[in-house]
Amino acid sequence: MKNMLAAFLAVFLCLPAYAQVGADEAWFAGPAVHTVTNCDDSGPGSLRDTLVGTSGKRHVEFSVSCDLTLQSSITANVGDVWVRGETAPAPGFTIRGFPLEMKRGAMKISHLRFRTGTNPAWPAGQDSISVTGATPSGSDCTGQRDMSNIMLDHVSASWSQDEVIQFWGCNIANITVSNSIIAEGLNNAGHPSGEHSMGLYIGPGVQDALVYRNLFVSNKYRNPVIHGGATAAVVNNVVHNSGDSAI
């Protein structure tokens, strides 16, 4: 009983240390709604069109479920958006082939599956989800951030050639990765560095990241790794079958 009480107090007392870290979920309330109505790579009603062809603060919802094999990366760099995979009918929505990239604004992604995979015709070294800010100049990460409030919640991501999920750049702040499965980064899939099974990478300059209640499975490295210069709280995650190193 004494040990259980000590453990409870340890968790309770550390709550203030990370309660204000990560994304602000209230940011995503109340915008316009755009609906994914088909499983096409592009064009009206496609996921790409709702993320790239529209602007402003918005929710993306789904009236279809499918396995979408992208023909190129989707780069979301306009406005603030919540991609609400939980609105898709069963069995849900899966993205394959190329990554989802975020380069500007705020974004929340929930209840989506990412199964990137590999193909000789595709570029080498792809992530499943990539959040990329400004490239650091040496060790200098000064300057205004233009990516804040990035939330990945109840996401299942796997089968990447590089990191399964990557945050990289100087202008990224207030991110949350929670309640998600980050699994099976591919070890021999054509990455230029050779064997390269990686889970979650929080790169230099990323500030106020929260990695909370996730399951890391069968990634050889980076479960997760926090680069020097980044700030993050890593709380209550499970790492299974980590290969050479867990963190």
Task: Flag whether the pTM goes above 0.95.
Answer: no
Going residue by residue through the chain, which has 247 residues, state the pLDDT in tens, using 9 for 90 and above. Answer: 444 444 444 444 444 445 556 777 666 666 789 999 999 999 999 999 999 988 788 999 999 999 999 999 999 877 789 999 999 999 999 999 999 998 878 899 999 999 998 877 777 778 899 998 776 655 566 654 568 889 999 999 999 888 899 998 878 899 999 999 999 988 876 666 667 788 999 998 899 999 999 999 999 889 999 998 899 999 999 999 987 766 6
Order of strands, sheet of 100-102, starting from the edge strand that comes earlier in the sequence: 74-76, 100-102, 129-132, 163-168, 198-202, 225-226
Distance CA 181, CA 217 (A): 8
Ordered DSSP codes for 197-228: -EEEEE-TT-EEEEEES-EEES-SB-SSEE-T
- Residue written as tokens 């990560």? 22
